[in-house]
Amino acid sequence: MFLSLSGKVAITMGFHLIWLFTLELFPTKYRSLATSQASVCARVGSVSSPYLNDVLVRTHFWWFYTLQKLFSILHNLYNTIMRVG
């Protein structure tokens, strides 16, 4: 019981630290835009993930992981562009 609760606390603390870091990463002028885009992407991902898991894993096992890797690469490119600009 203690390990499960401490795991939940650690995950929650990590999520909040990442959220605070993201807020301080962008200038004040673009902070609300960046935060809202991150929130929208998180919501779309959390809504579409179970559907993609059911459809793609049952039909084409490797498509699911290819799609995850593609989104990860696009996310990293987007973050690189936002940090440079």
10-66 pLDDT, tens per residue?
888 888 887 787 778 778 888 888 778 878 888 888 888 788 778 777 777 777 788
Burial call 40-75: b when 16+ CB within 10 Å, e when fewer: eeeeeeeeeeeeeeeebeeeeeeebeeeeeeeeeee
- Whether residue 85 is predicted with pLDDT greater than 60 in this model: the reply is no
At 17, the amino acid letter reads: L
How much is the pLDDT for 3? Answer: 79
What range defines the domain where residue 73 resides? Answer: 2-84
Entry pTM: 0.51
How much is the pLDDT for 49? Answer: 79
Q: How many domains does the chain have?
A: 1
Distances (CA, A) of 67 to 48, 49, 51, 52, 54: 12, 11, 13, 9, 14
How much is the pLDDT for 14? Answer: 83
- CB-based contacts of 34: which residues, under 8 Å, 6+ apart? 22, 25, 26, 82
- Distance between CA atoms of residues 16 and 8, nearest Å: 12
